[in-house]
Amino acid sequence: MSAGTLYDKVWELHRVADLPGGATQLFIGLHLIHEVTSPQAFAALDDLGLSVRHPERTVATVDHIVPTTSQARPFADPLAEEMLATLEANCARHGITLHGLGSGRQGIVHVIAPELGLTQPGMTVACGDSHTSTHGAFGAIAFGIGTSQVRDVLASQSLAMGKLKVRRIRVEGTLQSGVYAKDLVLHVIRTLGVKGGVGYAYEFAGPAIEALSMEERMTLCNMAIEGGARCGYVNPDAITFAYLKGRPHAPAGEAWERAVAWWSALASGPDAVFDDEVVFDAATIAPTVTWGITPGQAIGVDEAVPTLEQTDSDERPIAEEAYRYMDLRPGVPIEGLPVDVCFIGSCTNGRLSDLRAAAAVARGRQVAAGIKAFVVPGSEQVAAAAEAEGLDAVFREAGFEWREPGCSMCLAMNPDRLEGRQISASSSNRNFKGRQGSASGRTLLMSPAMVAAAAVSGHVADVRRLIATPSSPEPAPTPA
Amino acid sequence: MSATPFPAGPIQHCQGRAVVVPGDDIDTDRIIPARYLKCVTFDGLAEGVFADDRRERAGDHPFDRAGNQGAAILVVNRNFGCGSSREHAPQALMRWGIRAVIGESFAEIFFGNCLALGIPCLSADHDTVLAVQAAVAAHPGALLQLDLEPPQVTLQADGEALAWPLELAAGPRRMLVSGEWNGTAQLVAHDAELRATTGRLPYLAGFATA
């Protein structure tokens, strides 16, 4: 059983009570809500005659259903309009802050909470969205919940939870140029499997992790859930504190010094005990691309679609299903596979450093004929910062569309979606059957730079050949 | 569509016919595609359950076969319910008529979402799950009796009873059996303890004091 880890310390600090069923009642420090998984929770709260216990600890935005072309109200889709109107009414009635369209602070929930300084080390963070694991990048314990649990957090600012085991994923060495956090996490999932993390929290540690920027750490923790781990985290350090300093909700002045001391003490100590440990070597990781229908069906861009013989026996049925669905033959190299649509964005890779890395590839090149390519900033702040340094112009000149912020084609709850058998190069997080809005649409997951490389090449391409130097500096906090 | 009432109160048993949906890693996007999430209530979700898979199978999906209509026990394989946290997935299954799920393993968020609706997700090893699936296939329309204490499933067919042991962790089992699986009231009741907890979290006051 783990001991002395950040996970253990944060768990103990937030323990409210031990429940008769054996679960722990855990205080939730930050509750994030959006339009898709909250309306039924508010309705249930009404049915129970309860109010919101800590409205100041819930923050709302709208992301899944917003169009990325025109965000004028009312939306063309009456269902989308009803969902946003319902969120607005619920927030107004319960005194919850809503960062709405045009506020300057709207965006994908897992992009805006960090950039506003809402997400901080040592917090428990819950949201009705599985990619809540993103916030673990700050040394928070953050996990996705269902709507009944959203109701519980609204009613009691707490949840009934079972404690997870902790697996340390130690990454030695240095990532090659052209290899990003996205490649690293796809490699981890490919190795440990999509269910390898069930029952675990993942602590990402080691020199390669400590070298990552905060935005890269967010990409990494975002996809912990794709490996089955409900939460993933990185211990807070100087990079974490530098990112937070000066953000709207970060402590300031003397409070800042007290905060840094408290945060620092929460990191897993040298004597921390883990339930399991796996070690990776960053230097061996290539730009990584999914070829199948789960995020674990991933290969290096210089590899071929695995054959059945190369596949573990219990993974063969889903490999065969993937060959059929993707219309890919085993043994075929993934590089050179033609794509139809290129999507840069999402809570995984819709931040400023992602757009910079993609723009570095797109600059001076042209989107290949017949390809639809578009860039969706993760938030209004990301959009403003990118426009301030001219990235929108770089993308437009290269033939990409530059869109308004939202979840866009990651999950197709808005007008952005694949059609028919289209195949996309996507910087998002899920390549499930039908995920991008067409029941037969196909998705190849990869880093934003790799998506840009695919866009200008017309097919899956090794971005290492297209870039001269790596480029993912840490963006400075932007004024809100 | 569901004729039986939704789960309420203590859940010790579940009886009904079984429907087998084979395959590992069936994600919640497949259980309920995202376009069905455009709603502010869960009421109409039954029509969207496995919608794209059913269209692809053109009437031959387990949820479309005539003999499976009215089934209450879903039998799956490994890592069922992975991916998105959408409670719409168990809500859609429940509104179609599912009252319990048996499988080799479940994604955690899905398991918790089912528990919050009073739908037990019981697990068994690989060979046991295959044996249950084979028995269901061999005895179409047979009734299954699911018990939580101890967790097991029994299939009545041809005058004989085939039984397999299942697993359900003690915590969720106690919650279901006692009827405390929908625990909002319990959480709200611990307000004094909640206040004590907030007192030791300096970030709640913006680190205003040392």
Tens-place pLDDT, residues A256-287: 999 999 999 999 999 999 999 999 999 999 99
Nearest to A22 among B37, B79, B170 (CB): B170
Nearest-Cα distance to chain B for A262, in Å, is: 8
Sheet strand arrangement including B100-103: B121-123, B100-103, B73-75, B13-20, B143-148, B151-157, B160-165
More confident residue, A475 or A22: A22
Amino acid at A431: N
Torsion from C-alpha of A174, A176, A179, A184, nearest 10 degrees: -30
Nearest-Cα distance to chain A for B134, in Å, is: 17
- Measured in degrees and rounded to the nearest 5, phi and psi for residue B73 equal -120, 120
Nearest to B38 among A53, A80, A120 (CB): A80
Region of poorest pLDDT, from A6-10, B2-6, B56-60, B91-95: B2-6
Nearest to B197 among A14, A130, A159 (CB): A14
Nearest-Cα distance to chain B for A266, in Å, is: 12
pLDDT greater than 80 at residue B2: no
Q: Do A158 and B190 touch (CB under 8 A)?
A: yes
Residue B24 lies in a domain: yes
- Tell me the pLDDT tens digit for each residue of A321-370: 999 999 999 999 999 999 999 999 999 999 999 999 999 999 999 999 99
Nearest-Cα distance to chain A for B22, in Å, is: 10
Enumerate residues 96 to 115 of chain B having a beta carbon within 8 A of any beta carbon in chain A. 105, 107-109, 112-113
Number of Cβ within a 10 Å radius of residue B173 = 22
Residues A150-171: what's their mean pLDDT? 97
User: What SS3 class is residue A218?
Assistant: helix
Reduced 3-state DSSP string for A5-31: CHHHHHHHHCEEEECCCCCEEEECCEE
Residue B69 lies in a domain: yes
Q: Do B40 and A155 touch (CB under 8 A)?
A: no
More confident residue, B1 or B42: B42
Contact criterion met (CB below 8 Å) for A307 and A465: no
Chain A residues with beta carbon closer than 8 angstroms to that of B34: 411-413, 435, 437
What pLDDT sits at residue A480?
A: 47
* CATH code, domain with B38: 3.20.19.10
Amino acid at A357: A
Domains belonging to chain A, first-starting first, are 8-161 (3.30.499.10), 165-237+258-284 (3.40.1060.10), 289-465 (3.30.499.10)
- Tell me the pLDDT tens digit for each residue of A414-465: 999 999 999 999 999 999 999 999 999 999 999 999 999 999 999 999 999 9
More confident residue, A21 or A60: A60
- Tell me the pLDDT tens digit for each residue of A82-115: 999 999 999 999 999 999 999 999 999 999 999 9
Residues A308-319: what's their mean pLDDT? 96
- Rounded Cα distance between B204 and A318, Å, is 46
What pLDDT sits at residue B158?
A: 83
pLDDT band for position A478 (cuts 50, 70, 90): low
What pLDDT sits at residue B126?
A: 97
- Measured in degrees and rounded to the nearest 5, phi and psi for residue B202 equal -65, -25
Could you give the number of structural domains in chain B? 1
What pLDDT sits at residue A366?
A: 97
- Rounded Cα distance between B76 and B111, Å, is 13
Contact criterion met (CB below 8 Å) for A430 and A411: yes
Nearest-Cα distance to chain B for A112, in Å, is: 19
Residues A232-239: what's their mean pLDDT? 98
Helix (H) or strand (E) holding A443: strand A442-445
Residues A48-64: what's their mean pLDDT? 98
Q: Do B108 and A230 touch (CB under 8 A)?
A: yes
What pLDDT sits at residue A129?
A: 98
Q: Which of A449, A445, A443 is nearest to A466 (CA)?
A: A449
pLDDT greater than 50 at residue B1: no
Nearest-Cα distance to chain A for B161, in Å, is: 30
Residue labelled with tokens 């001269």:
A468
Task: Give the tokens for residue A19.
Answer: 């429940």
- Measured in degrees and rounded to the nearest 5, phi and psi for residue B58 equal 45, 55
Residue B7 lies in a domain: no
pLDDT greater than 70 at residue A475: no
Nearest-Cα distance to chain B for A117, in Å, is: 12
Contact criterion met (CB below 8 Å) for A159 and A152: yes
Amino acid at B51: A
pLDDT greater than 50 at residue A470: no
Torsion from C-alpha of A365, A304, A228, B151, nearest 10 degrees: 150
- Rounded Cα distance between A184 and A286, Å, is 9
Minimal-distance CA residue of chain B relative to A146: B87
What pLDDT sits at residue B3?
A: 59
Chain B residues with beta carbon closer than 8 angstroms to that of A411: 29, 34, 84
pLDDT greater than 50 at residue A472: no
Residue B70 lies in a domain: yes
Contact criterion met (CB below 8 Å) for A126 and A31: yes
pLDDT greater than 80 at residue A10: yes
pLDDT greater than 50 at residue A473: no
Residue B62 lies in a domain: yes
Minimal-distance CA residue of chain A relative to B55: A439
pLDDT greater than 50 at residue A469: no
C-alpha angle A394/A397/A402, rounded to 5°?
Answer: 70
Chain A residues with beta carbon closer than 8 angstroms to that of B56: 439-440
Task: Give the tokens for residue A342.
Answer: 């290129």
Locate all alpha helices (DSSP H) within A377-447, ordered by sequence.
380-388, 391-398
pLDDT band for position A479 (cuts 50, 70, 90): low
Q: Do A146 and B29 touch (CB under 8 A)?
A: no
DSSP calls for A337-384 = -B-SEEEE-HHHH-SHHHHHHHHHHHTT--PPTT-EEEE--SBHHHHH
Enumerate residues 115 to 174 of chain B having a beta carbon within 8 A of any beta carbon in chain A. 116-117, 169-172, 174
Indicate which of A36, A47, A58, A118 best probes the interface with B, i.e. most B CBs within 10 Å of its own CB: A36
pLDDT greater than 90 at residue A167: yes
Residue B207 lies in a domain: no
Nearest to A128 among B85, B198, B202 (CB): B85
DSSP B210: -
Contact criterion met (CB below 8 Å) for B13 and B147: yes
What pLDDT sits at residue A430?
A: 98
Task: Give the tokens for residue A72.
Answer: 């004028």
- CB-side neighbour CA atoms (13 Å) of B80: 28
User: What SS3 class is residue B122?
Assistant: strand
Region of poorest pLDDT, from A19-23, A159-163, A207-211: A19-23
